[in-house]
Structure 1
Amino acid sequence: MHMMIHGLLSLFTLAYASAVTGLTIQKRAVDFFDPALGGGSIFDNATFSGSPLNVIISGLSSPDVLTDKGILDYAQAIGLHSSQECLGFHLGAPQTANLGDGNGSLNQTMEFRQDFGHDVLGTCLESLLGGNHFLVWRQNGPQASSGALFLAASKEKDSSKNHDLVDDGYNIGRDELAVGAVGTKSHNGVTYETVAQKITGIMPAGSDGVNHGIAVDGIVILLTVTIQPKEQ
């Protein structure tokens, strides 16, 4: 009887605390939370025209993948490198996004560019020739702490075109990122297994409110990344 009363009191306390604070109970064992449910957006720069957050690395991925170092290593495994433009230089202000997790609008965590197989000079080639790149935000606020990483992927033209996007650049950037990620990839002795799933219903299709007026098809790719055990 004492244990039953104690359990009921614990449940009541948890429910009361949630009602008083208005916060969602902390939960990480999910792929992600829809940003719109918490007042956020599936587009970055949500108060203006924005770029779609068109790839999500699931919160059910191996925890080490979801850290800053983890996403850096994983990005290199799939052919992109962390670099703010060529050789670490950066042009333009960071973009912001609100993932509906209670953190409000935050600057991107990282930016990655296609490295063409060269860790140091590859991003210079991307700046000159164009290519794929993506920005990263982490959903870890008090209202929706999935730990998922939301990526804004796109494909750019070369530097002579001021890094404008290619036609259909958001859908193409998303698809090229997913194709390069799916399957087995390795970097620095770590092996990753990635599976992809198409998610609909959280991003509207069309060009309304989309940066550059480039239409999107409304599909978000969910990547679940699992680090494979090392062979003995």
Structure 2
Amino acid sequence: MYSPRGTFIVALMSFFGLGSALNIRSITYYDPTAGGGSMLDNAGDGYGEPLNVIISGLSFPDVLTDDGILNYARAIGFSTECLRIHSGNPQSADLGDGNGYVNQTVEFREDYGSVDAGTCLESVIGGNHFRIYRQNGPLANSGALFLAVSKEEPATDNHHIVPDGYDIGRDELVSWGVGQTSYGDVSYSTTAQNITGLLAPGSAGVNHDISQDGIVTLLTVTII
């Protein structure tokens, strides 16, 4: 589930007492439901979108920062929203970390091969996109990033989620990320593990009443 090189480096730093100084954490994530949270975010209408991808807290610390996750997103085919304008209200999530419901940190959209203009195309014709929530509260400070990933329809269909769009969006993002990728002179190695038992399968409480398979994919990202 982890990159051998990345795990070795983290273990070595921990042995020499460098982990805390570099903000390296020692856990993948905490189950939000254990702290009263949810694996569905709050879409504002009584329903939510599944948090179907987690970027592990054991990923390299630079990846888990705001700037770092933007660079990683660009390495796997996503970028900031068109003209950095977000339409609609932000969604929120309670990750069971003691912070309660917190608005999404950022939203990224498929860039169709252009980090500068591609997300404007996604806003028109639809595509993959994801919201990010950071688990960093006082009760569960893993530093992990929880992603709500889905594939959406074109603007003409009001950006509704495509049929099976939560599973499709997750699987696309994972396939684009796994292995070696790079952007801006930073190279990454990403491994993936599918987890069951965190997210209930089905459509109960899920936005747009779209059923999903209950699989959450854990990504561990190292800088190489």
Contact 2:43 2:207 in 1 (8 A): no
Which of 124, 129, 133 is matched with 1:128 structurally? Answer: 124
CA–CA distance in structure 2, aligned partners of residues 165 and 140 of structure 1: 29
**Shift of the alpha carbon at 1:120?**
1.7
Letter in 1 for 2:121: L
User: Sequence identity, in percent?
Assistant: 62
* TM, length-normalised to structure 1: 0.84
Matched, 1:62 2:60: yes
CA–CA distance in structure 2, aligned partners of residues 77 and 44 of structure 1: 25
Q: How does 1:139-218 map to 2 (within 5 A)?
A: 139-218=135-214
Letter in 2 for 1:49: Y
Structure 1: 4+ residue segments shifted above 6 A:
none
CA–CA distance in structure 1, aligned partners of residues 190 and 157 of structure 2: 33
Q: Which runs of 5+ in 2 are unaligned?
A: 1-23
Letter in 1 for 2:157: K
CA–CA distance in structure 2, aligned partners of residues 102 and 29 of structure 1: 19
* Paired residue secondary structure (1:177): helix
CA–CA distance in structure 2, aligned partners of residues 220 and 198 of structure 1: 6
Contact 1:102 1:144 in 2 (8 A): yes
Which of 37, 40, 54 is matched with 1:40 structurally? Answer: 37
Higher alpha-carbon deviation: 41-50 or 74-83: 41-50
Which of 114, 117, 141 is matched with 2:113 structurally? Answer: 117
CA–CA distance in structure 2, aligned partners of residues 59 and 46 of structure 1: 25
- Two-structure CA RMSD over aligned residues (Å): 1.2
Which of 64, 78, 81 is matched with 1:80 structurally? Answer: 78
| Structure possessing the higher radius of gyration over alpha carbons | 1
Deviations 1:204-230 (A, max 9, x none): 0100100000001010000000000xx
Structure 2 partner of 1:6:
none
Structure 2 partner of 1:91:
87
Letter in 1 for 2:61: P
Letter in 2 for 1:34: D
**Shift of the alpha carbon at 1:28?**
3.1
Deviations 1:124-157 (A, max 9, x none): 1101111000000000000000000000000011
Number of residue pairs matched by the alignment: 200
* TM, length-normalised to structure 2: 0.87
CA–CA distance in structure 2, aligned partners of residues 69 and 133 of structure 1: 18
Contact 2:43 2:91 in 1 (8 A): no
Contact 1:40 1:46 in 2 (8 A): no
